[in-house]
Every structure is written in C-alpha cells, then in structure tokens.
C-alpha cells in the first residue's frame, strides 16, 4: 500500500483529526498547533521532529518512533502508547501522559519524564527492526 511521506514537512495550524497515518514518515517535520485527535499513527516515524502545541488525544501511537523528537505542549491524553519509542525525548512539557502509558512505552536514560512519573522497569526496551 501507499505510505505517506511528509519528511521535513511543516504543518502549521492544521486540523487532521480521525485520520489514518499508518507507517507514515514524519521524520524531521515541524508541527505547530496541529490537531491529530483520534488519529491512527501505528508504526509512524516522528524521529528528529519538532512538535509543538499539538494534540494527539486518544490517538493510536502504537510502535511510533519519537526518537530524539522535541515535544513541547503536546497533549497525550488517552493516547495508546504500546511500544511507543520515546528514546532521547524530553516529555516534561507534554500533558495528559500517565504512568500506565509509560509502562507500555519504551525509553532510555535520555528520556525525561514529567513530574510525578517514574521510569518503568522495562526500559530500555528491545526493538525489532521493522523498517
């Protein structure tokens, strides 16, 4: 099937809620004020992106790569984070992130957590090569 490639793209003040982005390539993108509520991102790649003032509420982030991405004021309320890759990500400025979401996700010693949340015992995770 066709996969979206938005590598190095810029998104500003866009609403794309309830959209399918399965395995999409968002590497090195810039996003500001984007609404992705209830969207499907399974296995998408946001590595090395800057995502700001964006909502991923109730979205499927299963196996999504955020490796070394900048997340500033990103709403993760109710997002599904099964094996979501937060290696090298500062999550301190996200909202809605829970300990249960972290337990399902993956990170490393460079992943910074919001106050009140702790590093899960399963970090770092073993990653499969699914490129």
Instruction: List the chain pLDDT tens, one digit each, 131 residues.
Output: 557 889 999 999 999 999 999 999 999 999 999 999 999 999 999 999 999 999 999 999 999 999 999 999 999 999 999 999 999 999 999 999 999 999 999 999 999 999 999 999 888 787 655 44
pLDDT of residue 1: 52
pLDDT of residue 2: 56
Find the farthest-apart pair of alpha carbons in the chain and give their distance in angstroms, rounded: 42
Is 49 in contact with 68 (CB distance < 8 Å)? no
Q: Which two tokens stand for residue 49?
A: 């992106």
HEC profile of 63-122:
CCECCCCEEEEEECCCCECCCCECCCCECCCCECCCHHHHHHCECCCCCECCCCCCCCCC
Cα separation, 39 vs 26, whole angstroms = 14
pLDDT of residue 130: 45
pLDDT of residue 131: 43
């Amino acid at each position: 099937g066709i996969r979206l490639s938005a590598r190095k793209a810029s998104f500003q003040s866009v609403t794309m809620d309830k959209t399918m982005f399965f395995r999409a390539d968002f590497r090195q993108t810039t996003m500001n004020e984007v609404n992705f509520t209830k969207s499907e991102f399974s296995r998408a790649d946001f590595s090395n992106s800057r995502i700001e003032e964006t909502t991923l509420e109730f979205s499927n982030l299963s196996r999504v790569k955020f490796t070394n991405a900048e997340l500033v004021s990103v709403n993760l309320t109710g997002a599904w984070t099964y094996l979501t890759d937060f290696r090298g990500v500062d999550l301190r400025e996200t909202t809605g992130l829970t300990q249960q979401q972290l337990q399902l996700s993956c990170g490393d010693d460079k992943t910074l957590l919001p106050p009140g949340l702790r590093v899960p015992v399963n970090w770092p995770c073993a990653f499969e090569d699914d490129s």
